[in-house]
Amino acid sequence: MFLDDGKNLFRILSVLELKWDSALRHANPRPFHALSFRLRGDATFVHDGTSSHVSADSIAYVPKDFEYSLDHKSEHLFVVHFEIEGDPGLNDFFSVSPDDTQLYHYLFRSLFDVWNRKRTGYRYAASSIFYAILEELQKELSGRPFQAHEDKMEKVIEYIHKHYCEHDISVSKLSEIYGTSETYFRRVFQQKCSTTPLKYVNRLRLKYAEELLHSGYYSVREVSEKVGFEDPKYFSRFFKAQKKIPPSKV
The sheet with strand 68-72 has its strands ordered as: 23-27, 68-72, 43-47, 50-54
Average pLDDT over the chain, rounded to an integer: 86
* Higher-confidence position of 114 and 194: 114
User: What is the CATH superfamily name and number for domain 150-249?
Assistant: Homeodomain-like (1.10.10.60)
Q: In terms of Cα–Cα distance, which of 156, 104, 111 is closest to 130? A: 111
Q: How far is CA 178 from the centre of its chain?
A: 23
Residue 144 has pLDDT above 60, yes or no: no
With vertex at residue 192, the alpha carbon angle to CA 191 and CA 193, rounded to the nearest 5 degrees, is 100
Give the mean model confidence (pLDDT) for residues 29-50.
Answer: 86
CATH of 10-145, one of 2.60.120.280, 3.40.50.2300, 3.30.2320.50, 2.40.10.10: 2.60.120.280
Number of neighbouring beta carbons within 10 Å of residue 110: 16
Q: Mean pLDDT lowest for which of 19-33, 74-88, 142-156, 176-190? A: 142-156
Q: Is the dihedral of CA 73, 75, 81, 87 positive or negative?
A: negative
Could you tell me the pTM of the whole model? 0.59
Give the mean model confidence (pLDDT) for residues 55-62.
Answer: 91
Interatomic CA distance for residues 242 and 206, integer angstroms? 8
Q: Where are the domains of the chain?
A: 10-145, 150-249
